[in-house]
Structure 1
Amino acid sequence: MRSARTRLRLLAWAFAIAGAAGATGAASAAAPAPAQALTREQVNAAVERLRADPNLPGTRTERKLRFKDSDAKEEETKKKEGSVGWLRDMVKAVAEGARWLVWGLAALLLAWVLLRIQGWVRVRAERGRPAHGPLPSHVGSLDIRPESLPDDIGLGAAELWRRGQQRAALSLLYRGALSRLVHVHAVPVRAASTEGECVALASGRLAPAAQGFFVALVDAWQLAAYSGRLPSTAEVLAVCGEFDRHLSPAAAPVAAEATR
């Protein structure tokens, strides 16, 4: 396809040749003749002569080799990358979230281990400390003063349970057990001691049977206080009937002899 510039060049050459031909004819004639206008046929003929001249610039067609297979593969690769791009991004996001989750769980585990070590160290220190100084009147929010408790703690708890006051019955058993540990068995329970710490502190001051009884009592109390689940009536009445046998003042010398 010819360009506009090529057309202009051809016309310029055609007019130049035509003018040169007219000038030559005028010089060879004997007498000057008036100049005649060029016809369309003359112009077209000049253009054709110029077009046939190999020395003049014109339109040139070039051909280049292209590898169709490589282009097709490149396009296919781009399409595949676009189709799996969202999946790659999702996997990357999930991996990043999992990494932060693992770090969070590791931090929680480390904090739990540190708290357990701190509690163990405190229990060891309290267990080796003599039971001197003012005794606690409360452990947490529970009143453990002997005057705040009935004389027969097991019987009082059984009556509360039969009247439908299950939580009050279990609270009375746990308060009574803590009061006997502090005032009878000289267990160094403090006002901020947790259930687990009380069990650990009592293990060095109670006989094995009494320690097992106290552990069962604490489990029943925690089940109701923190999980909202009550033990069976048979289990609670059994604890009520065995309370004085394991934690009464008469059982204190047995416990003291067991710890020698």
Structure 2
Amino acid sequence: MTVINVMCRLLCLLLVLIAADPAVAQALDCDTRGDYIDALQDHDDPLKERLGRLYAEPDASFCRTVRVRVSPDNDRDWDLSLPDFSALAWLLRAIAVLLLLAGCVWLALNWSRAMPALVDRRRPPGSVRTEHHRLDRPASLSVDIPAAALAAWSDGQPRQALSLLYRGAVQILVPEQAAGSSTEREVLHTLQSRSVPPETLAWMQRLVRAWQRTAWANQAPTDGEFTALHQAWREHCREAGR
């Protein structure tokens, strides 16, 4: 009889659990079981009062502990704000200021050489300098100007070599301006106003550009360029001097 009685009570308890409010599951929780059974036993509803007495029976004295595993990632607050680039911005500004100061210092130290070279690069191929530039030359020229110019070039003196070629050409092509008081612009203007061959005028323009770049910007022509100017000197100047 005892076994049958226990089974009947368990069956009755199961039916009550099914028919009762879902909140009765609190009776299965070890943390809330005691308080919940006391509340049922004191309830005005006969069914719930009976359920409370059944829960209090020794045969129904069981409970459960539910463990819930919570992942730390589920509670993480995602930080969507941008990182602080203020330090990087300050560093870039400092680098820009230093580069600007370095550029100003370099320009101040190299102004005399940088500006003529810049003007030469921007000038069209057929144009000629118009600035005044007079030769600082000795009182007389060598008898064999091409030989003296070649010797100066071989000795590593490109300025002297081109100076000899230019002064010698002026002395032969424009003898009235050979005293050294005329600028290259004035010399070329005089040649253009005369009936000199176009080849001679073009050669003289190349010689003037090579001389000015060497004298002002310290940019000597290549060996091939100097050789072409040197070899053509006798051709143009001898024909003009006849």
Shorter-chain-normalised TM-score: which range? 0.3 to 0.5
TM-score w.r.t. the length of structure 1 is: 0.38
